[in-house]
Structure 1
Amino acid sequence: MARDMSDKEILKMELDQLKKEVSTPRTAMSTNCTDTITYVEGLAADDPLIKGVPDDKNPYKAEKGGCTIT
């Protein structure tokens, strides 16, 4: 896409992007980290990667048994 555009068009796109970025509200890193930690810890009890999946609800749990070759 960028190959089909002139230098002026590319620079205009970059300028528009920079204008968007400069108007984005900023917050302190310490606030963001605290909010992220609180959010993750609040959902940890229901997270199957942390808690695990019960065997009766796991569709990928293979039944134990032997292999039959015919």
Structure 2
Amino acid sequence: MWIRQIHRWLSMAFTLAVIANIVALTLQVQANWIGLLAFVPLIPLLATGLYLFALPYVGRRSGASSEARS
């Protein structure tokens, strides 16, 4: 499933952005864009995560309604 693959790649990008932020904080680099860098993959990561979370519940509901009709 391509949504799951996108979610995995976004999680890796988010992890790298958080690591870069931690490194910048320990080196005391004054670059605010590094702190905001983690938000770039976080928003689509949230969207794909919510979709993947809801997927089993939506599938179960549509499957149950089609069985009731039979």
Q: What's the TM-score, normalizing by structure 1?
A: 0.32
Ranked by relative contact order (alpha carbons within 8 Å, sequence separation 6 or more), the top structure is 2
Calculate the TM-score normalised by the size of structure 2: 0.32
Relative to its length, the structure with more helix (as a share) is 2
Larger Rg: 1
